[in-house]
A and B are shown apart, each in its own frame.
Chain A
Amino acid sequence: AQSVTQLDSQVPVFEEAPVELRCNYSSSVSVYLFWYVQYPNQGLQLLLKYLSGSTLVESINGFEAEFNKSQTSFHLRKPSVHISDTAEYFCAVTRVSGGKLIFGQGTELSVKP
């Protein structure tokens, strides 16, 4: 079975500051990893994914995440956040064989001016 733990339920940060949202996972089989974002009153959107290759993956809006197999982590980072990044962020895993996503509890990122 797989499980995902997001270590911070809420992260308040000032605009233009760096941020890290932490995600650890547990699995007895190989997994792929994802970050999804949910803006207020909107559906879940895929932010970035790690399937294979380079362990550092980037999104189009400046977020990046690094897959660390030894630490079973997939932390999300952004060097300078904007007000518009305010949202709920979910880390998720799926087995390499595909199927369901297992989500963490979510981290609420609140960017203040």
Chain B
Amino acid sequence: KAGVTQTPRYLIKTRGQQVTLSCSPISGHRSVSWYQQTPGQGLQFLFEYFSETQRNKGNFPGRFSGRQFSNSRSEMNVSTLELGDSALYLCASSAGRDEQYFGPGTRLTVT
């Protein structure tokens, strides 16, 4: 099976802009979780989707949002970008058991 894919892999944006990141889970996986990784805050949970429904959301401002489509693909959106949003954004898919499979991530740089 193909692994989790994320696009784009790298992105440079300017403060105030918005960005959309995409994640395609492993075939058959219905749960997609998103994480933000920064040197200062480490790996932090953003939100999780299952069957197009957001089941849980981390402690992030409303500028961070996401959605999941009927084919389980997921997108996350960050509006009004701030310098502090520069990070590696990781998505992970799961078949509903405990192990999560991570994608390679999208490296976002905000200037």
Bound pair (A, B): no
Residues of B within 8 A of A (CB): none
Residues of A within 8 A of B (CB): none
